[in-house]
Amino acid sequence: MLLKEDGRSMWKRINKVTRASRTGALMRVEREIDGEIFEFTEEQDLIDNIMEELQDRFSGAEDDPISNCSIRDELGDFGFTELGLKIIAGDFEAPEDMRESTSRLLAAIGKVGREHKDDNIDVAMSPSNYTTTWGRATERTSSSISGLHFGHHIALSKSKLLSRSMATKLNLHAKWGSPPEKWLNVLMVMLEKKLGVAFIPKLRAILLKEADGNMLDGHVFGGRALTHARKIGFIPEEQLAEKQKTAEDGLESRLCEAASRGTSNSCRRHCRLL
């Protein structure tokens, strides 16, 4: 055990020196105002300028065609309304002030809803699901504004009793659609995409959710729902949305498709190289 810990400590120091530089905490931002670039370093200035700049990014849906026609209030922000159920069931009739493209999109949603209305999935989480998921987790992953981070759930997963208790708790939230209040609070973090570039439009915005809520979302949508969608052929093959698929697979597919159409000599050469 002592030798193992000593070796881990040694490689940790080696990796710290040899790995590429990583971006740290954001201590300054740059923003363009009236054609000039200004730098801000005070905490409140950072928050105010980031929120002003990101307001357009996160409110882009307000300018969508469907948000500017007569069904907006009836449909609601999330679509969990009677009208939303009609759209999924294919019983929706588009109003006169709706764009034709939007109408066709909603009609396509209704078609899919009718064809797959009985394709329900079981989202129940077993204690073994809970244990397996957290057994693969990395303790250093940042999450949970409440302070209950990955490490707590990794520790809980070591106990059969506590794993069963947590799985039951998550199943209740999923079944009744009643998330705890802490799930409604998320922490937005701004990170530099490229080291040293603090221009706000070039920053990456991520949301840190509660660890258990994030885990349940991954279990339902990233696991059960996607697996079922692949099983029934709902995901087009050209999207390459399958396990073990990589960006290189997508590039190879696109190049070979272009080459088969004879659209580019360079594409044909690349395809032969691949």
Segment 161-179, tens digit of pLDDT: 999 999 999 999 888 888 8
What's the rounded Cα separation, in Å, for the pair 110 and 223? Answer: 24
Q: How far is CA 244 from the centre of its chain?
A: 18
According to the model, what pLDDT value does residue 162 have? 94
209-230 pLDDT tens trace = 888 988 898 888 888 888 888 8
Lowest mean pLDDT among 25-34, 80-89, 230-239: 230-239
| Per-residue three-class SS string for the chain | CHHHHHHHHHHHHHHHHHCCCCCCCCCCEEEEECCEEEEECCHHHHHHHHHHHHHHHHCHHHHCHHHHCCCHHHHCCCCCCHHHHHHHHCCCCCCCCCCHHHHHHHHHHHHHHHHCCCCCCCCCCCHHHHHHHHHCCCCCCCCCCCCCCHHHHHHHCCCHHHHHHHHHHHHHHHHHCCCCHHHHCCEEEEEECCCCCCEHHHEEEEEECCHHHHHHHHHHHHHHHHHHHHHCCCCCHHHCCCCCCCHHHHHHHHHHHHHHCCCCHHHHHHHHHC
Average the pLDDT over 262-266 and give the result: 53
Q: Which of 9-13, 262-266, 270-274 has the highest mean pLDDT?
A: 9-13
pLDDT above 90: percentage of residues in the chain: 10
Name the residue among 270, 231, 38 with its Cα closest to residue 116.
Answer: 231
| Rg, Å, the chain Cα set | 24
Lowest mean pLDDT among 54-58, 102-106, 180-184, 194-198: 54-58
Please say whether the beta carbons of 161 and 131 come within 8 A.
Answer: no
According to the model, what pLDDT value does residue 127 have? 93
Predicted structure pTM score: 0.68
Amino acid at 39: E
According to the model, what pLDDT value does residue 170 have? 92
Higher-confidence position of 257 and 158 = 158
Amino acid at 270: H
Please say whether the beta carbons of 69 and 35 come within 8 A.
Answer: no
At 250, give phi and psi (nearest 5°). Answer: -65, -40
List Cβ neighbours of 172 (8 Å cut-off, separation of 6 or more): 178
Average the pLDDT over 120-129 and give the result: 88
Amino acid at 68: N
Higher-confidence position of 78 and 112 = 112
pLDDT for 272 beyond 60: no
According to the model, what pLDDT value does residue 240 have? 63
